[in-house]
A and B are shown apart, each in its own frame.
Chain A
Amino acid sequence: MLLSLGLLVLPQAAFIWLSLHADLGLGQISDAVTLENYLRVLTDPFYLGSFWLTVHLSAAATLFGLLVGFPAAYALARIGGWIATIILSLILTTSLITVVVKLMGLNIILGSTGLINTSLLALSITSSPVQMINNETGVFIGLVQYTMPLMIVLLFGVVQTIPVEIEEAAAILGATRARTYLRVILPNARAGLLSSGLIAFNMSMGAFTSAVLLGGGRVRTIPVLIQQMIIQNNDYGKGAALSTMLVVFAFLLNLIAGGLLARGGGGQTG
């Protein structure tokens, strides 16, 4: 018991200790100018632009993920049985295989000589290849690929808690399928949508590999910048400041969303 208590506290203590050391490191690199680093990061339009880029790409990927993920999860949950189990395992499996494999595939599909562009050209839909990688579109697609499997798994759990009977009740009362979907199913899944969306958004905000490999180094989201600052520029000060910003932003967002969930979650279950 005591042993497990000790081990229980250890990672926590380690993290707090480490975060302190990160700040110390920041101070040591440029002794008294700790705040100046933050100031520079917060006022420089380049970093602010990068921040905005990261947020809007993550938001777009999350939104798209929810838009596709929810109906998919809904269909799965309602299909049920072993078919659903197999499909869900398949979906989850795609997220368990290391992301580079997936990104390599996406590069092949989306590249200028890739599957989509050769098809488009062959069908004369476009006259020149559509640029889908090494830009924001590529990163967006990568983020959707990255977050969607978990999103579907989480939303599957959410839909499972909504009994089919309430859909049937709505149908008996004369609601159309579309109305049932909008007025009965979605409101009941609101808390689940919000929390799944939050998880996907967090994942996207921190996504590094997808941003590098599909952005071709040109789409500089915050995680990409952090790595570049530290490894290529040896600028630990700015790297640490960006890291802190990212973590604080995610933390505040979770706090706000947590509050929203706690209030909104209770009101709509009736």
Chain B
Amino acid sequence: MAVERDWNRRLASKAILAGAVLFLAAPFVVVLGASFDPATGYHVAFPPRGFSLASYAAIPWKYARAAGTSVMVGVIVAVVSTAIGLCAALGLVRGRLIGREALASFFRMPVQIPFVVTGAVFLQFYYQLASLTGVNLLNGLTGLIIAHVFVAVPYSVGAVTAVLSRFDPALEEAAESLGATAWATFRSVTLPIIRPGVLAGLFYAFIVSFGDIPVALFLAPGDRATLPVQIFEDMQFDFKPSMLAVSSLIAVLSLAAILAARELAGFDMVARPAHASAASQPSERTARP
């Protein structure tokens, strides 16, 4: 009886929740479904009229190449920005720095700048740099990687800070009192314990880099487009069902990666999404009247 009544409570809210989930999941379901349609023309059919892997077989080589570019950029960005994020978080949480608050809000700043603007600013900067020093970062992927690190750092800082601020400093003192050097303490005590935060930082930085379009649109050389940019451009000018197949693969592999990250790294995305912790500072500030 009680359970039954419980389920019947807040029905309106639950109906809205169901609608929202349906709304958010629908695009993925449709892409996945349409990718199995046997037609190979420009027509897209959902629900599919049959089951065929034709669109998968027709995936052109350029997408694999673009995927390689995206993964490479993403991995480098994840490692670099998490390394910076780790140092920054150590400084923010531990350091007795003056103006820690101001620094912390500085670190959240890139989140507030639209990606398009970031892309434009970096493009300008690289042109200037090239005309001043002759070093053209736009030739290879270096320019894109630097810009991605810039936008990804807040997420890494957020993820590491979230874990680090719950870390008990007495653990480090305990290690030190047992004769451990600063490095040994960091390696065998601090790092293993904040590992979930570091992994979350890597994960989110990768996601930010991998998912970005505007910045890569400005900064990736024409022949080294990232995967989302490649799809973005083809969607506008040259739609083919094979793109449905590529998108389905992205969705499925992303989902698998997210699940694997949860299982292996043991971090709880829901508890501290990096964007939320990087961006939701105002609400935290007002939470204490």
Contacts of A109 in B (CB 8 A): 26-27, 30, 46
* Known pairs A8-B91, A11-B107, A154-B276; A94 contacts B25 (CB<8 A): yes
Contacts of A88 in B (CB 8 A): 270
Report which residue of A90, A93, A236 has the largest number of chain B beta carbons within 10 angstroms of its beta carbon.
A93
Please tell me if the beta carbons of A97 and B251 are within 8 angstroms of each other in the complex. Answer: yes
A153 to B279 Cα, complex, angstroms = 12
Please tell me if the beta carbons of B282 and A195 are within 8 angstroms of each other in the complex. Answer: yes
Flag whether A208 is at the interface (Cβ < 8 A). yes
A227 to B95 Cα, complex, angstroms = 40
Flag whether B58 is at the interface (Cβ < 8 A). no
Interface string of B104-142 (1 = CB under 8 A from A): 001101101111110111111101100000000000000
Flag whether A122 is at the interface (Cβ < 8 A). no
Flag whether A121 is at the interface (Cβ < 8 A). no
Flag whether A46 is at the interface (Cβ < 8 A). no
Flag whether A24 is at the interface (Cβ < 8 A). yes
Please tell me if the beta carbons of A265 and B122 are within 8 angstroms of each other in the complex. Answer: no
Please tell me if the beta carbons of B116 and A226 are within 8 angstroms of each other in the complex. Answer: yes
Contacts of B207 in A (CB 8 A): 96
Interface string of A102-116 (1 = CB under 8 A from B): 111111110101110
Distance between A74 CB and nearest chain B CB, rounded to angstroms:
5
A107 to B244 Cα, complex, angstroms = 12
Count, A-B residue pairs, CB within 8 A: 285
Contacts of A227 in B (CB 8 A): 116, 119-120, 214, 217-218
Please tell me if the beta carbons of A72 and B20 are within 8 angstroms of each other in the complex. Answer: yes
Please tell me if the beta carbons of A149 and B235 are within 8 angstroms of each other in the complex. Answer: no
Contacts of B88 in A (CB 8 A): 4, 7-8
Please tell me if the beta carbons of A199 and B279 are within 8 angstroms of each other in the complex. Answer: yes
Which of A79, A196, A213, A266 is B286 in contact with, Cβ under 8 Å? A266
Report which residue of A19, A92, A104 has the largest number of chain B beta carbons within 10 angstroms of its beta carbon.
A104
Contacts of B57 in A (CB 8 A): none
Flag whether A30 is at the interface (Cβ < 8 A). no
Smallest CB-CB separation from B254: which chain A residue? A97
Please tell me if the beta carbons of B28 and A208 are within 8 angstroms of each other in the complex. Answer: no
Please tell me if the beta carbons of B114 and A1 are within 8 angstroms of each other in the complex. Answer: no
- Interface of chain A, helix or strand or loop or mixed? helix
Please tell me if the beta carbons of B236 and A213 are within 8 angstroms of each other in the complex. Answer: yes
Which of A106, A209, A261 is B282 in contact with, Cβ under 8 Å? A261
Flag whether A76 is at the interface (Cβ < 8 A). yes
State the interface size on chain A (CB cutoff 8 A). 103
Contacts of A205 in B (CB 8 A): 114
Contacts of B184 in A (CB 8 A): none
Please tell me if the beta carbons of A265 and B235 are within 8 angstroms of each other in the complex. Answer: no
Distance between A246 CB and nearest chain B CB, rounded to angstroms:
6
Please tell me if the beta carbons of B46 and A115 are within 8 angstroms of each other in the complex. Answer: yes
Contacts of B127 in A (CB 8 A): 25
Smallest CB-CB separation from A204: which chain B residue? B114
Distance between A32 CB and nearest chain B CB, rounded to angstroms:
19
Please tell me if the beta carbons of B214 and A208 are within 8 angstroms of each other in the complex. Answer: yes
Flag whether B221 is at the interface (Cβ < 8 A). no
Flag whether B258 is at the interface (Cβ < 8 A). yes
Flag whether B171 is at the interface (Cβ < 8 A). no
Contacts of A39 in B (CB 8 A): none
Contacts of B95 in A (CB 8 A): 1, 4-5
Smallest CB-CB separation from B119: which chain A residue? A227
Which of B21, B24, B27, B109 is A15 in contact with, Cβ under 8 Å? B109
A240 to B20 Cα, complex, angstroms = 37
Pairs A–B under 8 Å by Cβ, sample size 16: A21-B124, A22-B121, A22-B124, A68-B20, A72-B17, A87-B17, A96-B254, A101-B27, A111-B44, A150-B273, A208-B213, A213-B236, A227-B119, A227-B217, A231-B218, A236-B124
Residues of B within 8 A of A (CB): 9-10, 12-14, 16-17, 19-21, 23-31, 34, 43-44, 46, 84, 87-88, 90-92, 95, 97, 103, 106-107, 109-110, 112-117, 119-125, 127-128, 150, 153, 207, 210-211, 213-214, 217-218, 227-228, 231-232, 235-236, 243-244, 247, 250-251, 254-255, 258, 262, 269-270, 273, 275-276, 279-280, 282-283, 285-287, 289
Closest 4 CB pairs of A and B: A105-B27, A206-B114, A265-B286, A4-B87
Given contacts A101-B247, A213-B235, A265-B289, 10 further A-B contacts (CB under 8 A): A22-B120, A24-B128, A71-B13, A98-B250, A99-B211, A109-B46, A149-B24, A217-B236, A257-B282, A262-B286
